[in-house]
Amino acid sequence: MFEALGYTRVENSAMGIQYIKKSNRSEMQRIGMLKTKYIEFYRKHKDITIKTTTEFIDGSKANNNLECMTLEEFKAVQKQVLELGWN
């Protein structure tokens, strides 16, 4: 379901599953920054983290661990939780 929302899945057996969505390079020209959003599922503690990295036109970067989620992303998170058996 995340793939349909433009995310790429990265699996790490030690950590869990990470979904990554990068903004288009055209955003750098349009608004001067690129955003990368991460939704991560940590198997060991059954934690979910949502964070964003922003890269600015001058090359500086900022991390944000407080991020909003769309309803479609929320539904994808619910589905992934069920698939992981985190009832």
Quick: pLDDT tens for 49-86. Answer: 999 999 888 889 999 877 788 999 999 999 999 999 99
Give the Cα separation of 71 and 64 in Å (integer): 20
The alpha-carbon radius of gyration of the chain (Å, integer) is 14
Cα–Cα dist 7/39, whole Å: 9
pTM equals 0.83
Residue of 64, 61, 67, 70 whose CA lies nearest to 34: 61
